[in-house]
């Protein structure tokens, strides 16, 4: 890695020329002010937003130090606002109602649509009215399980408009995961869609939602309304569907003879979205809320296996998602912005919906995948809409790199000026390809480090100011005071490596784990009192650049999706024959990391292909298809210490075929290491 420390790319001149932050001097000055005078810094920014009632007292109040009492963070408390108003009404009132808010690109390139700010506002009002008339009040949680369609944005903004709280569950999650999240957040209303094509695979969202609702009912949560968008009737089916129907009548189950998609219907809870909104009024007064009222809960993996309901509040999140969007992508009116993340993840919350809309931006909302119907799909979209700012994940870049430069070069990508990445460390090779081939060497690459918990970018280059190094997220955003700590909590000054922590609060940070403040304190503040602990490790190089090295807890990052080892292990343990399981991350050329599972079977159990399939299906079913293990290895025993703790570092070595196990003398039975090493699976 050391050689990358010296490879520097200066900000492109055309970007710097008109950038909001156009030099390192300006960045340093603004950053210093944001740290020293956070209230003044964010106070100025707050003036750009509409507050129905200004902040009456303290702009910031907090305690970061558990040893002094409960941890809390409050920004703009007592100020009254509404994020939906700031996303929509504000722009419509300013005469921007006819501007496109979203161009929609379906899974099939033939399916396209667009929506203006005023159309979005009318739709949001209709849904807001409908929800209110069905008993959704301020503070209630509404679960959302939808594909990347305009109605997803409408749903979340409608919930925010009426002061309710959204809990969006990524449409790739299984019914178990959806139910678990609905139960934990007590969501008694669900908004979903009938189904969606992902490439030529059909995801039966309504069927999964139905299973989740029945699980919720079994466990005592009575979901009283399920609002269903009829999406399948308006999209183009992939050619393979026609083949499937002709060739395999068995596959017809979800379609009638005219290729109409069929769903089961429970008329006591199910309501078609289209019918619900058609009669609702398009005027819906805003419910003004306190800046510290909850805006959303979004679940993220936790190292115990139980997902954490990360709670964000209205005011601080609004300021932070908007400001990071403006500076990290150097947004200007006239830009066309395209973020490929699903709204079901935090990146979609902050940088598909809120950040862009708060800035009045025009974006592309994309339903499909990068490789369907061809491997140039992203580039085709960029050319079509003249996208100037593009934001995707390293795993997508690596997937597309495999096809070489030709699919990119077919398209005119000269509109691009900023290229962002997020989700996992980006390897310099992928960074350089992104810069050279996609950006033609003329665009700024911004590697944005952040988390569900941080609400927005916390370490990132600024396109017009920061000389970048491939693979480094560079420097802290405004308001972020970065610090590296060693195991004993001492600060690592200058060059060195340590735990990545932050010294003081920023407006967009999470406020708690829903219904579990204790876990919030233990997870983020216990290890190093006085600091927010990210759970990532990082290195500072001789020039002060930050290089995030990855998770230092039992978390895995598969294609930018965080998973905990415990979560996967408990899924495997549900397979009848499995006695014990230990899961570690193993490097993967496209996904970044993949899962390598060591499995011990019960007496008499046989490690057959059928069992392997069962285990894979169990993980897919309990968590979601993206969590499917790549490697499953039979383990006659697991390397455990005498106190019974599995030594994962040894398993990680075995997984990659590295004999450098370190000290294994504390193992109860060191011989098991060699056995596992000898029998490790070849490449999957």
Binding mask of the shown chain, residues 531 to 560, with x at each position contacting ligand WTA by CB under 6 A: ---xxx-----------x-xx-----x---
Nearest to 478 by CA among 508, 501, 440: 508
CA distance 207 to 195: 8
Told to check if 468 binds ligand WTA by CB under 6 A, we report: no
Are residues 328 and 446 in contact, defined by beta-carbon separation less than 8 angstroms? yes
Pairing of strands 389-392, 631-634: unpaired
Q: How far apart are the first and last CA of the chain?
A: 27
Told to check if 425 binds ligand WTA by CB under 6 A, we report: yes
Q: Which is nearer to ligand WTA, 231 or 551 (CB)?
A: 551
CA distance 165 to 184: 13
Does 97 sit behind a cis peptide bond, omega within 30 degrees of 0 on the bond before it? no
**From candidates 129, 321, 347, 363, binder to ligand WTA by CB under 6 A:** 347
DSSP state of 67: G
Residues pairing with 580 in the sheet: 600
Handedness of CA 490, 549, 356, 121 (dihedral sign): negative
Nearest to 641 by CA among 622, 663, 619, 618: 663
Q: Which is nearer to ligand WTA, 86 or 534 (CB)?
A: 534
Instruction: Choose the binding region for ligand WTA from 446-454, 520-528, 645-653, 663-671 (rule: CB under 6 A).
Output: 446-454
Task: Count Cα atoms within 13 angstroms, Cβ side, for 177.
Answer: 32
Instruction: Choose the binding region for ligand WTA from 404-412, 418-426, 601-609, 676-684 (rule: CB under 6 A).
Output: 418-426
What residues from 223 to 252 belong to the interface with ligand WTA (CB under 6 A)?
A: none
**From candidates 107, 226, 300, 328, binder to ligand WTA by CB under 6 A:** 300
Residue with tokens 């974006």: 363
Told to check if 302 binds ligand WTA by CB under 6 A, we report: no
Told to check if 462 binds ligand WTA by CB under 6 A, we report: no
Told to check if 472 binds ligand WTA by CB under 6 A, we report: no
Told to check if 562 binds ligand WTA by CB under 6 A, we report: yes
- Closest approach, Cβ 459 to ligand WTA, in A, equals 8
Told to check if 342 binds ligand WTA by CB under 6 A, we report: no
Contacts of 281 (CB under 8 A, 6+ apart): 125, 126, 129
Told to check if 307 binds ligand WTA by CB under 6 A, we report: no
Told to check if 117 binds ligand WTA by CB under 6 A, we report: no
Told to check if 323 binds ligand WTA by CB under 6 A, we report: no
Element (H, E) at 317: helix 314-328
- Closest approach, Cβ 336 to ligand WTA, in A, equals 22
- Closest approach, Cβ 130 to ligand WTA, in A, equals 31
Residues pairing with 667 in the sheet: 641
Q: Which is nearer to ligand WTA, 38 or 394 (CB)?
A: 394
Q: Which is nearer to ligand WTA, 625 or 637 (CB)?
A: 625
Are residues 382 and 413 in contact, defined by beta-carbon separation less than 8 angstroms? yes
CA distance 579 to 421: 40
Q: Which is nearer to ligand WTA, 321 or 448 (CB)?
A: 448
Told to check if 395 binds ligand WTA by CB under 6 A, we report: no
Report the interface residues with ligand WTA, using CB under 6 A. 300, 345-347, 422-425, 447-452, 473, 534-536, 548, 550-551, 557, 562
């Amino acid at each position: 890695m050391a050689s990358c420390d010296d490879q520097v790319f200066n900000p492109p001149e055309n970007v710097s020329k008109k950038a909001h932050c156009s030099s390192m001097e300006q960045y340093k000055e603004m950053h210093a002010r944001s740290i020293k005078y956070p209230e003044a810094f964010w106070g100025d920014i707050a003036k750009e937003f509409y507050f129905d009632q200004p902040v009456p007292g303290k702009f910031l109040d907090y305690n970061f130090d558990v040893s002094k009492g409960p941890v809390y963070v409050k920004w703009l408390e007592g100020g009254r606002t509404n994020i939906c108003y700031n996303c929509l009404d504000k722009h419509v009132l300013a005469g921007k109602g006819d501007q496109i808010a979203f161009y929609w690109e379906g899974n099939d390139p033939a399916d396209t649509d667009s929506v203006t700010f005023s159309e979005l506002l009318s739709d949001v009002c209709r849904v807001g009215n409908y929800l209110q008339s069905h008993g959704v009040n301020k503070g209630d949680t509404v679960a959302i399980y939808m594909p990347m369609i305009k109605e997803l944005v409408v749903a979340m903004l409608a919930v925010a408009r009426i002061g309710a709280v959204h809990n969006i569950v990524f449409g790739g999650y299984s019914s178990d995961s959806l139910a678990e999240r609905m139960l934990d957040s007590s969501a008694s209303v669900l908004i979903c869609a009938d189904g969606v094509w992902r490439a030529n695979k059909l995801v039966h969202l309504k069927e999964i939602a139905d299973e989740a609702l029945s699980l919720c009912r079994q466990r005592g949560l009575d979901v009283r309304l399920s609002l269903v968008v009829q999406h399948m009737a308006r999209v183009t089916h992939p050619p393979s569907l026609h083949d499937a129907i002709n060739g395999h009548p068995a596959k017809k189950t979800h379609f009638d003879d005219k290729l109409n998609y069929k769903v089961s219907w429970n008329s006591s809870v199910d309501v078609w979205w289209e019918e619900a909104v058609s009669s609702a009024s398009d005027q819906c007064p805003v419910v003004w809320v306190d800046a510290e009222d909850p805006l959303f809960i979004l679940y993220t993996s936790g190292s115990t296996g139980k997902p954490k309901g990360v709670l964000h509040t209205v005011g601080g999140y609004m300021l932070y998602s908007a400001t990071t969007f403006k500076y990290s992508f150097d947004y200007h009116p006239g830009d066309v912005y395209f973020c490929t993340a699903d709204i079901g993840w935090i990146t979609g919350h902050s940088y598909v919906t809120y950040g862009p809309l708060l800035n009045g931006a025009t974006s592309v909302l994309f339903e499909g995948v990068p490789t369907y119907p061809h491997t140039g799909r992203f580039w085709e979209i960029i050319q079509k809409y003249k996208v100037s700012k593009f934001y995707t994940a390293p795993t997508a870049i690596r997937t597309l790199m495999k096809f070489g430069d030709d699919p990119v070069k077919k398209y005119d990508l000269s509109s691009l000026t900023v290229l962002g990445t997020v989700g996992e460390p980006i390897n310099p090779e992928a960074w350089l390809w992104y810069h050279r081939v996609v950006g033609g060497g003329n665009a700024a690459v911004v590697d944005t480090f952040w988390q569900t918990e941080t609400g927005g970018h916390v370490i990132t280059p600024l396109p017009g100011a920061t000389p970048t190094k491939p693979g480094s997220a560079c420097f802290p955003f405004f308001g972020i005071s970065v610090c590296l700590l060693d195991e004993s909590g001492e600060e690592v000054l200058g060059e060195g490596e340590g735990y990545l922590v932050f010294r003081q609060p920023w407006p967009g940070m999470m406020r708690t784990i829903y219904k579990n403040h204790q876990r919030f304190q233990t997870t983020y503040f216990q290890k190093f009192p006085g600091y927010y602990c990210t759970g990532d490790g990082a290195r500072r190089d001789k020039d002060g650049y930050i290089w995030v090295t990855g998770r230092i807890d039992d978390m895995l990052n598969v294609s930018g999706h965080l998973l905990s080892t415990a979560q996967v292990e408990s899924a495997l343990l549900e397979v009848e024959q499995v006695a014990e399981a230990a899961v570690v991350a193993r490097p993967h050329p496209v996904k970044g990391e993949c899962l390598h599972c060591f499995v011990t079977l019960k007496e008499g159990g046989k490690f057959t292909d059928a069992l392997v399939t069962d285990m894979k299906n169990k993980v897919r079913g309990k968590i979601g298809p993206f969590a499917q293990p790549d490697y499953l290895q039979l383990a006659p025993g697991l390397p455990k210490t005498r106190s019974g703790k599995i030594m994962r570092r040894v398993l990680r070595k075995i997984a990659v075929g590295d004999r450098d196990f370190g000290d294994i003398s504390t193992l109860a039975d060191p011989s098991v290491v060699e056995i596992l090493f000898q029998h490790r699976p070849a490449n999957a």
